[in-house]
Amino acid sequence: MDLLGIGTVTNAVEGIINHFWPDKTVQEKNAYAYQLQQLLVQSDLVKGQLAVNEAEANAAKGGLGRFGAFFVAGWRPAVGWACALTFAWSYVISPLLVFVLAIFGKHVALPALDLSAMMPVLLGMLGLGGMRTAEKIKGLNPGA
């Protein structure tokens, strides 16, 4: 119980002092709390993705019939093949074809594909921007 108002003045002075000379322990505690909150959010996202993956795997095993399983489990391979073919066309097939045709005196301009929308998808499928490489460096699941 603060009858004289000394506690209020003390809190105000302490607030001013902490504003100009912050307590490193409090700052570190707040930083760790923020990092923990971010990790919990990321953990929830991973748990949600695992639930989706499990549902897709269960649907692909049965229940939807052969045709239904194709639409559930076949979309990732289809996107992977589309990305691989686009990548191969842009960096291997098209340049090689232009080179071979130039040898025979035919100068053609083959269509160039816009890779700006496809590359994030391809990189994501190849390991979320290096996460798989980080796993291998750490020695996690080296055989896969």
Question: What is the mean pLDDT for each group of 10 consecutive residues in the chain (144 residues)?
Answer: 62 75 79 90 87 73 58 70 87 92 90 83 69 68 56
**Structural contact between residues 79 and 125, judged by C-beta atoms closer than 8 angstroms:** yes
Quickly count helices (H) and strands (E) in the chain. 7, 0
Q: How far apart are CA 76 and CA 82, in angstroms?
A: 10
Question: What amino acid occupies position 21?
Answer: W
Q: What is the pLDDT of residue 133?
A: 65
**Structural contact between residues 62 and 69, judged by C-beta atoms closer than 8 angstroms:** yes
- Where in the chain are the domains? 23-64, 74-144
Reference 56, options 76, 38, 39, 40; nearest CA is 76
Q: What is the pLDDT of residue 142?
A: 54
What is the reported pTM? 0.42
Q: How far apart are CA 113 and CA 88, in angstroms?
A: 11
